[in-house]
Chain A
């Protein structure tokens, strides 16, 4: 229903918007409050006009209140994102269009001849499963050494790989047209260095930190005063890690420094104790000497080689010990 007011006001009921282009505000406002009052009064009229239109629509009653169907908004506002672009047909779709192949709806459950029952088409315990074949009859063209089951697996892998490649090509074409499906992202993985077939290892956060630290040490002040990027952590302490023990022992505690030196000494002794005295060897030598003395007394012939032999039995010089004065 168009009343006089509608012709003066521009109403957009879909947006609950009202515009009064004819009101002229006084260029010299009387006072702030007067101005505010005037604005509110004019707007009240606009709101009343919109409400008149709204409440005259047919409303359906619900639990929350009367619900009214809003007309579509008339003010043109720019879109937020582009209109979704149509997806280019995939290679199969093009082929199907050319050949006139219609899509047929397939049932989830199919009759299996071998076991007289309905089995699902895809998934666990499916109809005509490729892996379930117990016997494959040999054909005349088969070579004797070939494994037909392995061959089947290979073929399946090849088919799957081909399908993946085709899918990638279709998605690339869609991306070119700007119509990539919203949940798919195409990411370029890193290119391998020419010549190697393996992909370069991805560097982790810790490794990067180590490398950055290494690079920092090459500066004149050893990387201590380098400006840090936001998020970069301070370098880990490089060089020797000293732990100094307290000199004065606490109440009741063992003197830690004394303990430490004791430990060190005992370690040294235990390491080199065999140079100081190899008990087993000493016993052997003593026994042998005794026997020799006994035997030597019985037949004194003064063999020279005996002394030579006894040389072997004498404690050998320690080869690990270096001579005190080296030739400078």
Chain B
């Protein structure tokens, strides 16, 4: 026996529709959580990442003992959380003797683990340790510039994978229109060695230059750290093919009330509301705008000017 369950409130219905798979996808949400043990570095990294991604991230504060991303059985909790919070990116921090200051960045496809990459954090400098002119501090939710430098990102497969994951993580919402005044942050990732990436977050200073294009300057603002590649897991081929499948472009929205014809040309339809003839304002009957008043005013002005002329003469 089956029962059909539909949401009883409009709000619930809208939440469900938001979570449904769409043809064209906009931003991914990130889930930030930590494991059994965390060091001070890891907890501050997670906190700052959360702050940077404020609009599209959810941070869990409790310890999660049964999450082991690289083991076969240890992903069920992660998948459950991903389903509950509708997050398809996750950042899992932990600290063990074997892997100190560990961060696992992962992605989900249909709430199943798609790929994982594990990095170690070194030389971490927190947001608070940078001093800069507060005028240039980046605002929450702005679209960032992402810069990758170094041949490692092209030659080393793990770094290539990391590049893709970092792009996904920092990208934010995918938008069609961008406000040029809202460009104020940049993420800088440089492959300083085949296993190390230097990551930092900068604010943008737009300086006046001779042309329309302002001169860009970077000021180090946010957390900076060195990421040391540890393990990674690439997605299996079939899953990758399915996930990379791009849908055909969204069918153009039909422009309503406009008709194109070879004979008549472009014709538009205008709908008029009902005209209530009793309540229509035909002329303004206020005292000040009466014709007699206007005329008398004009006459007075003329006489005044004539008087002035006479007196001057």
A residues touching B (Cβ–Cβ < 8 Å)? 14-25, 27, 29, 32, 35-36, 38-40, 42-44, 46-48, 50-52, 54-56, 59, 62, 64-70, 73, 75-84, 167-168, 171-172, 182-191
Contacts and interface: CB of A to CB of B under 8 A. Distances in A.
A40 B163 CA distance: 18
26 contacts: A15-B167, A16-B146, A21-B150, A21-B153, A32-B123, A43-B149, A51-B213, A55-B212, A55-B213, A65-B180, A65-B181, A77-B167, A78-B107, A78-B235, A80-B25, A80-B28, A80-B88, A81-B21, A82-B21, A82-B242, A83-B23, A83-B245, A84-B21, A84-B22, A168-B2, A189-B3
B17 interface: yes
Given A56-B213, A82-B242, A171 B180 contact: no
Given A189-B3, A191-B1, A40 B19 contact: no
Contacts of B310: none
Given A21-B151, A55-B213, A79-B244, A187 B23 contact: no
Contact of A69 (B2, B154, B174, B177): B177
Chain B at the A interface: SS class: mixed
Report, as a range, how many residues of chain B touch the other chain. 35 or more
B22 A183 contact: no
Interface in B175-195: 175-183, 186, 188, 190-193
A48 B216 contact: yes
Contacts of A182: 16-17, 19-20
B154 A21 contact: yes
A171 B2 CA distance: 10
Given A15-B167, A18-B147, A42 B3 contact: no
Interface stretch (B60-68, B197-205, B284-292): B197-205
A55 B179 CA distance: 11
Contact of B21 (A73, A83, A172): A83
Q: Which of A22, A46, A54, A167 has the most CB of B within 10 A?
A: A46
A200 to B, nearest CB: 12
B153 to A, nearest CB: 7
A40 B219 CA distance: 9
B164 interface: yes
A16 B143 contact: yes
B182 to A, nearest CB: 7
Chain A at the B interface: SS class: mixed
Interface of B: 1-7, 13, 16-17, 19-23, 25, 28, 88, 107-110, 114, 123, 143-151, 153-154, 163-164, 167-168, 171, 174-183, 186, 188, 190-193, 198, 200, 202, 204, 212-218, 220, 224, 235, 240, 242-247
Contacts of A27: 193
A190 B213 CA distance: 67
A15 B171 contact: yes
Given A25-B150, A51-B214, A78 B19 contact: no
Contacts of B150: 20-21, 23-25
A82 B108 CA distance: 11
A19 B150 CA distance: 8
B149 A39 contact: yes
B167 A17 contact: yes
A199 to B, nearest CB: 8
Nearest to A180: B20
Contact of A35 (B168, B183, B192, B214): B192
Given A25-B190, A43-B218, A167 B4 contact: yes
Contacts of B147: 17-20, 42-43, 46-47
Given A25-B193, A40-B188, A79-B243, A56 B212 contact: yes
A69 B175 CA distance: 9
A115 to B, nearest CB: 24
A22 B204 contact: no
Contacts of B202: 40, 43
Contacts of A65: 179-182
B179 A42 contact: no
B25 A79 contact: yes
Given A18-B147, A43-B190, A185 B5 contact: yes
Contact of A20 (B6, B88, B149): B149
Q: Which of A36, A50, A66, A79 has the most CB of B within 10 A?
A: A79
Contacts of A62: 179
B144 A16 contact: yes
Contacts of A51: 183, 213-214, 216
Contacts of B145: 16-18, 46-47, 50
Contact of A19 (B114, B153, B235): B153
Contacts of A64: 179, 181-182
